Amino acid sequence: MNTVENFEIYAPKLIEKREFFSPGHRACQGCGEVLALRLLLKALGEDTVVSNATGCMEIISSAYPHTAWNLPYIHVAFENAAAVASGVEAGLKALRRKGKIADRYVKSVAIAGDGGTVDIGLQALSGAMERGHDMIFFCLDNEAYMNTGIQRSSATPFMAATTTSPAGKAIKGQRTGKKNVPEIMVAHNIPYVATACPSYPLDLMNKVEKARKTIGPSYIHIFSVCPTGWRAASNETVKLGRMAVETGFFPLYEVENGKYRLTIDYPEKRRPMADYLRLQGRFRHLDPADIAKVQELVDKEFRKLMHKVKTSVPWS
Amino acid sequence: MQGNRVIGEAAIRAGCRFYAGYPITPQNELTEYMADNMRRAKGGIFIQAESEIAAINMVLGASAAGARAMTSSSSPGISLKQEGISSLAADELPAVIVNIMRGGPGLGNILPSQGDYFQATRGGGHGDYRTIVLAPASVQELADLTMDAFELADRYRNPVIILADGMMGQMMEPVEFHAPPPRRYPECYVLKGMGQGKSKFIRALILDAIRMEEHNWKLYRKYQVIAQKEVRCETFWTDDAEILIVAYGTAARIAKGAIKRSRELGLPVGLIRPITLWPFPTQVLQGFAARVDDFLVFEMNTGQMLEDVQLALGNTARIQFYGRPGGVIPTPAELAKVIAYQLRKK
């Protein structure tokens, strides 16, 4: 099995002390996305070029003439973070080959929100992954277009109310489930795909570190709680992230060369979805029958994943 | 009511039954209004597309199926929609596209600007085509022109662009909705299942050069008719004016404020406000040029409509320009100073 070599597991005292995403940015109270960003940049280190699609993270961090980024950073349009990161990677490679820049390993990284990944950015993402650029794509998934005022995306969960999927008597919010983009990425046969959540910081950093060491394209889907958009209390960000993972709604796993592995142990009986839904205003309109429906959907998805964990084999 | 919502309400009242949108500031309220209210309209469909390109092409499909269809976006999103708008023009399908302009180029900012004048009036996408461009300057006019836009789109089977900016979209004013006339349109092009008769065919790919030329000339003749019949323009305090401001949309509102101030000081100044940016009121301007020597073009960009004014007037008048691009909203006092300066110079 061709696993990542020279991989050190993170411990709190090994974590980078420097901040690559500095305080003073304009994020809301309790922003889960900023938390994820800060941790993942610490794990990436200084030899990184970030291509960031439009979205919350760009708006809050790069309002001219201020910036929160202590790393090389380029802001691009909504749909093309993966394409620009491909270009950055290819450009660096060409310059290195010609001896125009120092021969050191600089990782090209694309960061986009869920809209910039699962909706408008999917074409560019698929292209970049198919071409096999040596890059990492991070999706910071807060389950809607929060930057423009909470519009639904294809990452919005079943029955969540947003401004463009309002909850009424006949239609209870979002009518479709969450698009499973990590699965689409696995289908591209790329070396490393993972899901992560900043409520599990060491797990997240380990995965980022692993992706950085991987030669070739890798994809990490980061579940980022958005108290503003989810109508939740801003001091419950970490708790909500933990609940999403514990209920199995957003299981933490990684796929290395096609082999699925859960990175967290699940008990026989998972935490019920009702606990998680109750804390969020966007699910306020659900009655017990609806919650049962949501639970059923989550169980089904979880069973599918467990089947893959048991049966998948590495393809190299 | 807020400008963005007014556009939504006017569209629904005008019989718009298909709306495809995608989030972009500063037009989100329109998308939200449609999400909330399209369901209430009989048979109305709201779709949030996965991208701007998908949204405009959904509109193309809905229009081909005979629905009154609309989409909206702001500057960067409209750039993405250009391929679809070009196709709509080539296929001769009616559609209404709302552009709530913001600062550019690139992603720019989210403040009001008028930087998309060239893009809107010159076609915008590729190929030899034109779109009717309406520039409202009040919330009431947003309502009226939205209703008219559907009429014009049906009458000429051509995409119509409503060119407003972030200020129009976000502004709140009282508004009155008029009952629009019932929809009349030739159903000959509508694709609705074969049934009896010949199958219909909508296409924009014409490989034969002569046929393509014929199609281009056909479109051209249509545009000539529009240019003759559909010019709209408002004049304000022009009777004894010695200097005329040419401005549209938000800039025209600011100009009106500046003119009132200047008139209080006894300065003879008036306003010409094009309501249709294409077709441009060339003849109106030429009519004034016989009497007035000085024109001041005022825009919230670095000088785009200026070129149309120069084309219209040539060397027959002195044309000055004042503009603030990038989302800066100039004040009436600021413009009044410019007017005073221009008059002193005279």
- Given a contact cutoff of 8 angstroms between Cβ atoms, the answer to whether B158 and B89 are in contact is yes
Is the CB of residue A154 less than 8 Å away from at least one CB of chain B? yes
Domain topology for B233-345: Rossmann fold (3.40.50)
Q: What pLDDT score was predicted for residue B220?
A: 96
Q: Do A171 and B39 touch (CB under 8 A)?
A: yes
Length of chain B: 346
Is the CB of residue A21 less than 8 Å away from at least one CB of chain B? no
* Tens-place pLDDT, residues B113-136: 999 999 999 988 999 999 999 999
Is the CB of residue A75 less than 8 Å away from at least one CB of chain B? yes
Sort A290 into a burial class: Cβ within 10 Å, 0-12 / 13-18 / 19+: middle
**Ramachandran angles phi, psi of B260, nearest 5°:** -60, -45
Residue A1 pLDDT level (bands cut at 50, 70, 90): very low
Percent of chain B with pLDDT strictly greater than 70: 100
Alpha-carbon distance of A111 to A49, in angstroms, equals 10
> Looking at beta carbons, which residues of chain A come within 8 Å of B21?
164
Beta-carbon contacts of residue B205 (< 8 Å; ≥ 6 apart): none
Q: Indicate the residue of B23, B46, B106 with minimum beta-carbon distance to A148.
A: B23
> Looking at beta carbons, which residues of chain B come within 8 Å of A151?
23, 28, 31-32, 48
Specify the CATH number for the domain of residue A187. 3.40.50.970
In DSSP notation, B309-336 reads: HHHHHTTSSEEEEEE--TT----HHHHH
Q: Indicate the residue of B32, B51, B107 with minimum beta-carbon distance to A120.
A: B51
Task: With a cut of 90, say whether residue B185 has pLDDT above it.
Answer: no
Is the CB of residue A165 less than 8 Å away from at least one CB of chain B? yes
* Tens-place pLDDT, residues A156-202: 999 999 999 999 888 899 999 999 999 999 999 999 999 999 999 99
Residue B224 pLDDT level (bands cut at 50, 70, 90): very high
End-to-end CA distance of chain B: 43
* Tens-place pLDDT, residues B6-64: 999 999 999 999 999 999 999 999 999 999 999 888 889 999 999 999 999 999 999 99
Beta-carbon contacts of residue B135 (< 8 Å; ≥ 6 apart): B163, B164, B248, B249, B274, B275, B276, B277
Q: Do A75 and B107 touch (CB under 8 A)?
A: yes
Q: Indicate the residue of A145, A163, A170 with minimum beta-carbon distance to B35.
A: A163
- Given a contact cutoff of 8 angstroms between Cβ atoms, the answer to whether A264 and A245 are in contact is yes
Average pLDDT score over residue span B213-222: 95
Q: Indicate the residue of A75, A77, A149 with minimum beta-carbon distance to B28.
A: A149
**Any domain includes A33:** yes
B201-214: burial string, b at 16+ Cβ within 10 Å, e else: eeeeeeeeeeeeee
Beta-carbon contacts of residue A289 (< 8 Å; ≥ 6 apart): none
Which of B65, B19, B25 lies closest to B45, judged by CA?
B19
Task: With a cut of 70, say whether residue A5 has pLDDT above it.
Answer: no
- Given a contact cutoff of 8 angstroms between Cβ atoms, the answer to whether A251 and A211 are in contact is no
The ipTM estimated for the assembled molecules is 0.88
State how many domains chain A has. Answer: 1
Q: Do A120 and B46 touch (CB under 8 A)?
A: no
B271-to-B116, B248, B262, B288 alpha-carbon distances in Å: 22, 10, 12, 11
- The C-alpha of A4 sits at a distance from chain B's nearest C-alpha, in angstroms, of 35
Alpha-carbon distance of B152 to A250, in angstroms, equals 50
Q: What's the mean per-residue pLDDT of chain A?
A: 93
Structure tokens at B102: 């913001």
Average pLDDT score over residue span B301-319: 95
> Looking at beta carbons, which residues of chain B come within 8 Å of A163?
28, 31-32, 35
Which of A146, A149, A144, A139 lies closest to A173, judged by CA?
A144
**Any domain includes A187:** yes
> Looking at beta carbons, which residues of chain B come within 8 Å of A145?
23
**Any domain includes A3:** no
Do domains B3-229 and B233-345 share one topology? The answer is yes
Residue predicted with more confidence, B185 or A235:
A235
Percent of chain B with pLDDT strictly greater than 90: 86
**Ramachandran angles phi, psi of A162, nearest 5°:** -130, 180
Task: With a cut of 80, say whether residue B187 has pLDDT above it.
Answer: no
Task: With a cut of 60, say whether residue A305 has pLDDT above it.
Answer: yes
Is the CB of residue A168 less than 8 Å away from at least one CB of chain B? yes
Is the CB of residue A152 less than 8 Å away from at least one CB of chain B? yes
Alpha-carbon distance of A240 to A226, in angstroms, equals 10
**Any domain includes A198:** yes
Average pLDDT score over residue span B246-272: 95
Alpha-carbon distance of A116 to A120, in angstroms, equals 6
Question: Which residue spans within chain B are E strands per DSSP?
Answer: 18-21, 45-48, 69-73, 95-101, 132-134, 159-165, 233-236, 243-246, 269-274, 276-278, 294-299, 318-323
Q: What pLDDT score was predicted for residue A6?
A: 60
Q: Do A154 and B21 touch (CB under 8 A)?
A: no
Task: With a cut of 70, say whether residue A4 has pLDDT above it.
Answer: no
Q: Indicate the residue of B35, B50, B76 with minimum beta-carbon distance to A166.
A: B35
Alpha-carbon distance of A235 to B345, in angstroms, equals 63
Alpha-carbon distance of B107 to A57, in angstroms, equals 15
**Any domain includes A17:** no
Is the CB of residue A79 less than 8 Å away from at least one CB of chain B? yes
Q: Indicate the residue of B23, B76, B80 with minimum beta-carbon distance to A145.
A: B23
Longest Cα–Cα distance of chain A, Å, equals 65
The domain B3-229 is placed in CATH, from the list 3.30.230.10, 2.40.100.10, 3.40.50.970, 3.10.310.70, at 3.40.50.970
Residue predicted with more confidence, B142 or B186:
B142
Radius of gyration from C-alpha coordinates of chain A: 19
Which residue range(s) make up the domain with A159? 22-311
Q: What pLDDT score was predicted for residue A15?
A: 86
- The C-alpha of B24 sits at a distance from chain A's nearest C-alpha, in angstroms, of 6
**Domain boundaries of chain B, sorted by first residue:** 3-229, 233-345
Residue found under tokens 């030739």: B186
Q: What pLDDT score was predicted for residue B31?
A: 95
**Any domain includes A213:** yes
Average pLDDT score over residue span A70-76: 94
Q: Indicate the residue of A147, A164, A170 with minimum beta-carbon distance to B48.
A: A164
Residue B105 pLDDT level (bands cut at 50, 70, 90): very high
- How many helices and strands (H and E) does chain B possess? 12, 12
Q: What pLDDT score was predicted for residue B188?
A: 82
Interface residues on B facing A, Cβ-Cβ cutoff 8 A = 21-25, 28, 31-32, 35-36, 39, 46, 48, 50-52, 76, 80, 106-107
Q: Among B34, B47, B51, B72, which would you mutate to test the A interface (most chain A Cβ atoms within 10 Å of its Cβ)?
A: B51
**Any domain includes A10:** no
B48-to-A168, A240, B203 alpha-carbon distances in Å: 17, 27, 26
End-to-end CA distance of chain A: 6
Q: Among B48, B58, B78, B79, which would you mutate to test the A interface (most chain A Cβ atoms within 10 Å of its Cβ)?
A: B48
* Tens-place pLDDT, residues B64-99: 999 999 999 999 999 999 999 999 999 999 999 999
